[in-house]
Chain A
Amino acid sequence: MRIVVILGQVLDPSGIVIKRRAGRIFVNREEYVLQPADRCALEAALRIKNAALAGLRPSQGVEVVALPRGPLPDDDVLRQALATGADRAVYLTGEGFDGADDAAMARVLAVAVERLGGADLVITGATTFDTGQGQLGPRLAETLGWPQIVGAWQVEAADGRVRVVRQEGSGYVVVNADLPVVITVLPGALKPRYPDGARLINVYRAEDAVEKWDVSDLVSDLVDEAALQPLLEKRGQDFPPERERGVRLSGTPEEMAQALADTLRQRLGRRPATARER
């Protein structure tokens, strides 16, 4: 069985400061980390691999292959995946690939999966930590023509089937599907393991630990280059208004409680006052 895990990186939020009044983001420490949801996706894949190993069925060996979620400046997250337990990692690079968005990435990844010799399972994160977009998994499922399970808490795979726990309404349900399938895993769903220290050193020492594929090769294969053009265009940033601290409520305790309850309800009704209200 071959499991493809799709991993991305995100700017560590503890290294940045957002100044609302200046309307700017100051990057104090530019450090990229593996997307939290993708980290759980990798963990899910490694657990399936371990379960297969524990079953002592060598014919059912599991190969975990890491692919990037988008254009990456370097292959750090892929090396980390190798050190954590992935068997193979492929770094995608190439001209005109820098701007690829999720629509284009889904096409590229579909070809990459084909090039690997097919896969039984694709696992990725359900949402990106920074932009909160969860479209890559379903878009890839559509390109591959596979079914999808979105927002998984637990993933088990055996005998050509997957068993996934996911949320439905306020409860949790178990769902089944035949392989192949694309699964997206929620951030925080599983407790991810750490990379193995010795492997980390070896992975960084070996130049060719991560395979390098040129996207233009993949593209000429099955997709035309126009399909890589990004569909979306950034139009700027918007900052929520500066906080007003120390607003004192007056009145009887009951009136104050009512006012606080109203504010809390508004706050928890998902998103607070946003740029829209200015």
Chain B
Amino acid sequence: MDASYLDLLMAQQEEVTEEATGGGGIWVVADVVDGAVAPVTLEALGAARTLADSLGAYVYSVLLGDSVADGSTPLTTGLAQTLYQAGADGVRVANHPALARFALEPYLEVLAALFEEEQPEVVIFGATAQGQELAPRLAQRMDGGLIEHVVATSLDEATRTVVVTFPVYSGEYFEIAACPEARPQFLTIEPGTFSAPFLDPYRKGEPATLDFEPVEPAVHVVGAADDFEPPPVPLAQATVIVAAGRQAGDFELVQQLAAALGGQVAGDRGARDAGWIGPEQIVDVRGVTVAPQVYVAVGIRGDTFHNAAVEEAKFIAAIHPDPDAPIFQVADLCLEADPAEVLPALLKALT
């Protein structure tokens, strides 16, 4: 077999490749956090891979940043290879000091120029600060549909439409929607809902570098807002609550648990009687009715008034030594144990 024949074969194969792209492929815009590819980007690549395999399309990823800034490996060999390993067939890299940290205008212009040329079918962002600023602007510029905070995708193969699921009333139920005609279809995916793909060390590639003239950002960061404290969230609207009861044992540990979970401290009437909490922190239908994502009841026996006040909680874990404690009738996860024994182990397991 002579070399010219091989060349011909390769050329033919490349032609086939071009045809197989169908549309402009599925694109994932990478998020970089602390010099590494963000987990949500890997999850997005996993989701993109699944869609691309059913559609017969390629997965591409765009990486914007500055290799000089973090001083380590150039983007093309370091981060870009991670994107290949996670499932990208092609990677485009935009490397410039102006892109060292996310700023809307420079990022937007690079992506807009790229997508104008490539005409993607689907563009996936992570639902991060960067994705939430970029996705709607690109969608508006390119007349594409956008659905944010997607938690699941499926495919309408006849029309090559991605059908997505997104939460309504923060996950009370889910809405299913699609963008049947307008292209590209933009999505931002919720971090932590798609499984991260296996990083295949044998997948490698040569990323293409984009040429562009950076534009000036319009919004300038002046500095840290040191004196700013976000307003306190009322107990009724807290997302995580750790509540203590008479059997909680050491209240210090309850406070530590709340801090470890990023939640607020509360209690039942017993905790108020013990002097651990104030009257405004009593979870009770006569006090505060709560609806957190996670409610941990530590040593709360759970009378009718308390249990009715936590009914709306999405997930309740209860720790109480008495197996007949009424709290176990409303809890999703029951630990029949002395909080004094569980809490130290729990704090250790969480850190």
Contact = CB atoms under 8 A, between A and B. Distances in A.
B231 A191 contact: yes
Interface stretch (B114-122, B270-278, B334-342): B334-342
A248 B336 contact: yes
A234 B176 contact: yes
Summarize A's interface: helix, strand, loop or mixed: mixed
Contacts of B104: 147-148
Contacts, number: 249
A58 interface: no
B136 A188 contact: no
A254 B343 CA distance: 9
Contacts of A173: 221-225
B202 interface: no
A276 interface: yes
A264 B171 CA distance: 17
Classify the interface of chain B: helix, strand, loop or mixed.
mixed
Nearest to B193: A271
A237 interface: yes
Contacts of A274: 151-152, 165, 167, 171, 174, 193
Interface of B: 104-105, 129, 132-133, 135-137, 139-141, 143-149, 151-152, 163, 165-182, 190-193, 218-225, 228, 230-231, 233, 237, 240, 261-262, 293-294, 296, 314-315, 317, 319, 328-338, 341-343, 345-346, 348-350
25 contacts: A20-B173, A138-B140, A139-B136, A148-B219, A149-B219, A151-B132, A172-B230, A173-B225, A174-B222, A176-B219, A235-B163, A235-B177, A238-B174, A240-B171, A240-B173, A245-B331, A246-B329, A246-B332, A246-B334, A256-B337, A258-B345, A262-B349, A263-B317, A270-B190, A275-B165
Interface of A: 13, 18, 20, 25, 102-103, 106, 129-139, 141-143, 147-151, 153-154, 163, 165, 167-168, 171-178, 181, 188-191, 231-240, 243-249, 253-254, 256-258, 260-265, 267-272, 274-276
